């Protein structure tokens, strides 16, 4: 598998939490793999139904994170993620996305919506390699777990 990544992009998280909720332009969909929902449930002792709803048609994702009336993720408190260490893959990736170009080729893209883009250090290949490996590891674990069901 190979991936393309954006060259010369600078990024540092500004902890603005824009990615953790709806904006005027965007309704945020915080998608969860089944193993991620189960893991968060185990670690927080909350039922999955307490923080996510089951969805169809978004494979490989099986759940959608619930949001407050203000449109913020249910785990966001005082602009901080209360499950940061176990947050879902989609949150670890933001502001980057990984597009499957087919034939085992992938490409990283990013959204300029994020206030951290253009700030901080210029990202090297290693940064995207780590994201790519993390994605492959979690997606494979999710598939294997689904096979055992
Ligand atoms: S899980 Fe954490 S990082 Fe992800 S949207 Fe919720 S508060 Fe933000």
Atom of ligand 1 nearest to the CA of 74: 6
Q: Ligand 1 mean position to 68 CA, how many Å?
A: 12
Range of the domain at 50: 2-148
Determine whether the shortest distance from the Cβ of 37 to ligand 1 is under 6 A.
no
Q: What is the dihedral of CA 42, 46, 48, 49, to 10 degrees?
A: 170
Are the C-beta atoms of residues 11 and 95 closer than 8 Å to each other? Answer: yes
State how far the Cα of 3 lies from the Cα of 16, in Å rounded to an integer: 29
Q: Ligand 1 mean position to 118 CA, how many Å?
A: 22
Q: Ligand 1 mean position to 83 CA, how many Å?
A: 7
pLDDT, tens only, 94-134: 999 999 998 889 999 999 999 999 999 999 999 999 999 99
Per DSSP (E only), the strands in 5-125 are 10-11, 31-32, 52-54, 63-65, 76-77, 80-81, 96-102, 105-110, 117-122
Atom of ligand 1 nearest to the CA of 73: 6
Would strands 96-102 and 76-77 be described as parallel, antiparallel, or unpaired? unpaired
Q: Quick one: pLDDT at residue 146?
A: 87
Q: How many domains does the chain have?
A: 1
Q: Quick one: pLDDT at residue 147?
A: 86
Say yes or no to pLDDT of 149 above 80: no
Determine whether the shortest distance from the Cβ of 83 to ligand 1 is under 6 A.
yes
- CA-nearest residue, atom 1 of ligand 1: 87
For the question of whether the overall pTM of this predicted structure is more than 0.75, the answer is yes
Q: Quick one: pLDDT at residue 77?
A: 96
Q: Ligand 1 mean position to 91 CA, how many Å?
A: 6
pLDDT, tens only, 54-93: 999 999 999 999 999 999 999 999 999 999 999 999 999 9
């Amino acid at each position: 598998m190979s991936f393309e990544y954006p060259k010369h992009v600078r990024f540092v998280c500004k902890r603005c939490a824009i990615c953790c909720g709806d904006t005027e332009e965007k309704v945020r969909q915080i998608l969860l793999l089944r193993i991620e929902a189960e893991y968060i449930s185990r670690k927080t002792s909350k039922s999955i139904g307490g923080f996510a709803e089951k969805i169809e048609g978004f494979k490989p994702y099986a759940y959608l994170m619930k949001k407050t009336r203000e449109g913020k993720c249910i785990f966001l408190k005082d602009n901080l993620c209360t499950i940061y260490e176990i947050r879902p893959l989609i949150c670890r990736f933001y502001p980057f996305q990984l597009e499957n170009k087919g034939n085992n080729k992938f490409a990283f893209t990013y959204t300029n919506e994020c206030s951290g883009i253009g700030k901080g250090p210029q990202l090297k290949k290693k940064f995207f390699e780590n994201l790519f490996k993390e994605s492959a590891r979690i997606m494979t674990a999710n598939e294997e777990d689904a096979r055992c069901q």
